[in-house]
Amino acid sequence: MVLMVYNTLGKKLEKFVPIRENEVRMYVCGPTVYDYIHIGNARAFIVADVVRRYLEYKGFKVKLVCNITDIDDKTISRANETGISVQQLGEFFTEAYFKDMAVLNIKAADVSPRATKHIPEIIEAIELLIKKGYAYEADGDVYFDVSKSREYGKLSGNKSEALQMGARIEINPKKKNPADFALWKAWKPNELGWHSPWGKGRPGWHIECSTMATKYLGETIDIHMGGKDLIFPHHENEVAQAEAVTGKEFARYWLHNEWLTVEGEKMSKSLGNFVTVQDALKLCEPIVLRFFLVSTHYRSTIDFNKKALKVAETNLERLINALEKLKSLQEDEVQSQDEIDFLSNIKNAKQRFEEAMDNDFNTPLAISVLFDVAKSIFSYIEKNYKINITAKREILQIFNSTLYVLGIEAITTKSVTEQSRLIDDLMQIIIDLRREKREQKDWKAADRIRRKLQEVGIELEDMPDGTIWRRKR
């Protein structure tokens, strides 16, 4: 099957073909560490994680770089507000970011470079841009001259001519034209700075990313990812300066996720609906938040609200319950026709799962396939309490590998599975109590237990080797 991805650069679905066979080099724009990450950030990082996991599932060797922006206007402003150094601020929120990523089961990047650790490389890149005529110095600042970039705007569609007419660009007499952007900023009092050929100062945001991306992934990378809000100006400027430095295409595929809203409104601190990951985790378990965020296609807007979280929790519980039920089936050497049909259904579901993911990482369709898998498991258990050991292992492998792609594999659903196991233990106590009543010929008490369970949506079925239970569907 062919993997098709929506490339922002071409604004269409394109067949994914990596530069090197069976290898993929990915760059993801990481956090600016001046605050805790919010759920919009989390969505972007989870989307990238799912893409990485599926590429690995398909057999690609993936190298992922996700940067840390620890020096820019926001980090300086927050440090000045709090009265601590930029370095202290960066260390604190970088550590908080890594903790949030771990809690959300986002695999660690192969490299997490920090801008402040790459000043020499950034200065070298700026020097080369000046030498090639793409940049100019003005009173200690260095700017990229967009008029020299013939393809400027090819990613976002924003052309420099239009930008010169826009009122959004602050007039700066140092610039040759309003669209030019800073590569290096002259030092100001109370700011962190480094010595450079243009005087003491610090790098601009855009040059940090393109320099670190090319350092660790090469002059042309396969996939560059981030939120839709980064297309312009950040990613557009990355393209312009990186391609000016190398003379080569910077990134072949650009993937951008859509906005996240909160209760139907754009998230912002001014509206009082700014939700950090830590805020969200007061409302649900981490794995539920992750499942909620992957349940909508990455190029569609998703609305964060309590009702949607509850739906995600219920749906996730159904999948985990199906997996636990499958694991609890007794193993047998004999293979029945029911098992043959069961395994055939699961293999068909695996193919449909892959078809969904091959279609621009269509996670909602892939999840609907997993619900079909759960349905097949429950249907099998209705008639059987044993399963061929080979068939069981193959089905478990398929189910677990698809859950892994979404980042909801069983080993990470600790709280959910612990809850499921607690329910199983309590149900076993109830089943044992009912068995004792039946052995004592207290049929009235035994029937009352069955009836009460039915009232809360649980059915009992007496089998030759004991009693099993399941939720009504």
Q: Which two tokens stand for residue 459?
A: 């059915």
Q: What is the pLDDT of residue 59?
A: 97
What is the DSSP track for 176-240? SSTT-EEEEEE--TTS--B--TT-SEEE-HHHHHHHHHHHHH-SSEEEEEEEGGGIIIIIHHHHH
User: Chunked in runs of 10, what are the mean pLDDT values of the chain (473 residues)?
Assistant: 95 98 97 96 98 98 98 94 94 95 96 98 98 97 96 89 52 87 94 96 97 98 97 97 98 97 86 89 94 98 96 94 91 87 95 98 98 95 90 94 90 48 77 88 88 82 70 55
Q: What is the pLDDT of residue 168?
A: 46
Structural domains of the chain in order of their starting residue, each with its CATH number: 16-257 (3.40.50.620), 286-412 (1.10.730.10), 417-471 (no CATH)
Looking at residue 42, its amino acid is A
Query: For the stretch 150-172, what's the b/e string if a residue is b when 16 or more beta carbons lie within 10 angstroms of its beta carbon?
Result: eebbbbbebebeebeeeeebeee
Where are the alpha helices (H) located in 266-362, listed in sequence order? 277-280, 286-294, 306-328, 337-358
CA distance 473 to 376: 12
CA distance 185 to 142: 7
CA distance 323 to 327: 6
33, 93 contact by CB (below 8 A):
yes
Q: What is the pLDDT of residue 463?
A: 64
Q: What is the pLDDT of residue 170?
A: 58
Q: What is the pLDDT of residue 360?
A: 98
Q: What is the pLDDT of residue 470?
A: 66
Q: Three-class SS of residue 69?
A: strand
Q: What is the pLDDT of residue 158?
A: 87
Q: Three-class SS of residue 68?
A: strand
